[in-house]
Amino acid sequence: MTAPQFPSETRRRGVSAQRAAAVVFAIGMFMSIMDSQIVNVALATLGRQFDAHTSDVQWVVTGYLLSLAICIPASGWIGDRFGTKRTYLVAIGIFTVASALCALSTSLVELVIMRLLQGLGGGMMAPIGTAVLYRAYAPAERVKVARSISRVTVLAPSTAPIIGGLLVSKLSWHWIFLVNIPVGIFLLVFAGLYLPEYRSGEQGSFDGIGALLGGGGLSAVLFALSSGPNDGWLSPTVLLTGILGAAALGVFIRRELGLRFPVLRIRLLADRMFRRACGIVSLATTVFFGSLVFTALYLQQARGFSAIQSGLTTFPTAIGIGISSQVVSRLYPRIGPRRLMIGGFAGMAVMTAALSSLGSSTSLWEVRGLMFLLGLSMPYVMMPTQASAFARISHADTGHASAIFTTVQRSASAIAIAIFATVLAGAGGGGIEPPASSFRAVYLVGAIVAIAGIALAWGVHDSDAAATMTKNRKMAPKEEAPATVST
């Protein structure tokens, strides 16, 4: 049958499409982000377990990241062609089975291979889950979506050090993967029962060359970014992979713009609101994720605290976000995204600049207070960005837009680590135990990035996001929905 534009009234076994999409997205994203962060806590343990050098153990993280990058660009086409529900179930299945295989690995090589497999599932989970969520809510209700996304994407990395530290210290490293199995099984059952299916209209044949160029190019660039701080930006491996990856992405973009049925609709970036939202989310992710990760490094490496102590110190960030998101969700429909984004970036700039004062004897309560205030600032940027990004994206284009948005956000995380790690090394913090003073430069760079975010947010037009503001519900243009939703 012809699909309603936003099938919120669709119900399966008494559960609405909105509720089903929210549950699937929240739990799936939490598991995916938690998994990617929690492994970092166990790297030292894995090195001892397999008697491997740090550079070799790092492939447990790098392999997963590269595998993610391969899948994300093509996820929009795959979901629209074969159905978002079916694709999501396959992704969850792969991720869950791979998690079990990771826990059963008896060598580092086996573990890296299983992480590559796990990344294939994880790479489809995020963009497909995001598309499912946005299609379930009308534009005027997108601030609810943004609130859910903000909570999940912050709570997971904030709690990962605590959970990871407890699992590794109290149980064993196997449990960082075993915890995914019951969650994955629940998602398979719940999504299978309650999630409606969505298939787009005509998709054309799969552009295998484009998928290879996009996934391979992105993987190569991310590999160069993750290797640069350790190996040196002028090392042959980093230079070669970086140049080849950038060239592949350039060819990919040119190719996709010229195709009627591209594997990824790059032309969606022609939409002013979506393009600017992608830029804003990349800057916000760089500041926030970089501050979160490097505050943990400051606490553990410069101050000598355990992963659990570090996690408890940075956790107030999540509390701040939980409080602030309630306020932003009420302000957004009345004043729109622009002023909220500017205010949020201003708060992030002040807080990251204040973090530059941290020293070798700074009170942990001062660190907690600053992280709490950083958390208060974050929703003022992220929630309006996520609510308005898809304001003028058609229902049929949501899958491809989600793939682009997810690619930008995941890439920004890698870029943040690369930039801040390079700055830290340049400030004298390249060793195993960097001095606390070397982190000052990291936070100052974060403040500069936040100021750049203010400049970018200044150019946002609230009128572009009118469809997502409740008081302007009548201004939302009607659109065609050449798709089918099976109930």
- Residue range 243-269, pLDDT digits in tens: 999 999 999 888 888 888 888 888 888
At 478 the pLDDT is 40
pLDDT for residue 431:
59
37-41, 100-104, 420-424: least confident range: 37-41
Predicted confidence at residue 97, as pLDDT, reads 94
Question: pLDDT tens for residues 217-233?
Answer: 888 888 888 777 777 88
Three-class secondary structure assignment of 329-383: HHHHHHHCHHHHHHHHHHHHHHHHHHHCCCCCCCCHHHHHHHHHHHHHHHHHHHH
Q: Please, what is the average pLDDT of the chain? A: 81
Q: Which helix (H) or strand (E) holds 11?
A: strand 11-12
Is residue 251 within 8 A of residue 213, CB to CB? The reply is yes
Query: Which tens digits make up the pLDDT trace of 187-227?
Result: 999 888 888 777 766 666 778 888 888 888 888 888 888 77
For residues 150 and 378, what is the distance between their CA atoms, to the nearest angstrom? Answer: 9
Contact between 141 and 85 under an 8 Å Cβ cutoff? The reply is no
Rounded percentage of the chain residues whose pLDDT exceeds 70: 89
Question: Cα(291)–Cα(313) distance, rounded to whole angstroms?
Answer: 13
145 vs 280, higher pLDDT? 280
Q: Would you say residue 457 has pLDDT above 80?
A: yes
DSSP β-bridge partners for residue 197: 486
The whole-number average pLDDT for the span 279-284 is 92
CA distance 453 to 349: 9
Two tokens, residue 59 = 């492939």
The tens digit of pLDDT for each residue in 74-120 reads 888 888 788 888 888 999 999 999 999 999 988 888 888 898 899 88
**What's the pLDDT at 11?**
57
Across 167-182, average pLDDT? 85
Closest CA to 217 of 186, 243, 248, 241: 248
CATH architecture assigned to 11-207+259-482:
Up-down Bundle (1.20)
- pLDDT of 15 above 70: no
Q: Is the pLDDT of residue 332 over 80?
A: yes
pLDDT score, position 471: 52
Nearest to 245 by CA among 220, 215, 209: 220
Q: Is the pLDDT of residue 353 over 90?
A: yes
Looking at residue 123, its amino acid is G
Element (H, E) at 2: none
Tens-digit pLDDT profile for residues 462-487: 888 888 786 544 434 444 444 444 44
Mean pLDDT value across residues 144-164: 72
Is residue 358 within 8 A of residue 300, CB to CB? The reply is no
Neighbouring CB atoms inside 10 A of 190's CB total 16
Positive/negative CA dihedral, 380, 381, 386, 389: positive
Specify the amino acid at residue 434.
P
Is residue 123 pLDDT above 50, yes or no?
A: yes
What ranges do the domains of the chain cover? Answer: 11-207+259-482
Which residue's structure tokens are 């004298």? 428
432 pLDDT band, cuts 50/70/90, is low
* Residue 45 clears pLDDT 80, i.e. is over it: no
pLDDT of 452 reads 94
Q: Which pLDDT value is given to residue 211?
A: 85
**Residue range 293-300: mean pLDDT, rounded:** 83
What is the pLDDT confidence band of residue 343, given thresholds at 50, 70 and 90?
very high
Give the pLDDT confidence score for residue 485 in this predicted structure: 45
The whole-number pLDDT of residue 92 equals: 92
Residue closest to 136 by CA, chosen among 281, 1, 11, 264: 11
How would DSSP label each residue in 144-164? HHHHHHHHHHHHHHHHHHHHH
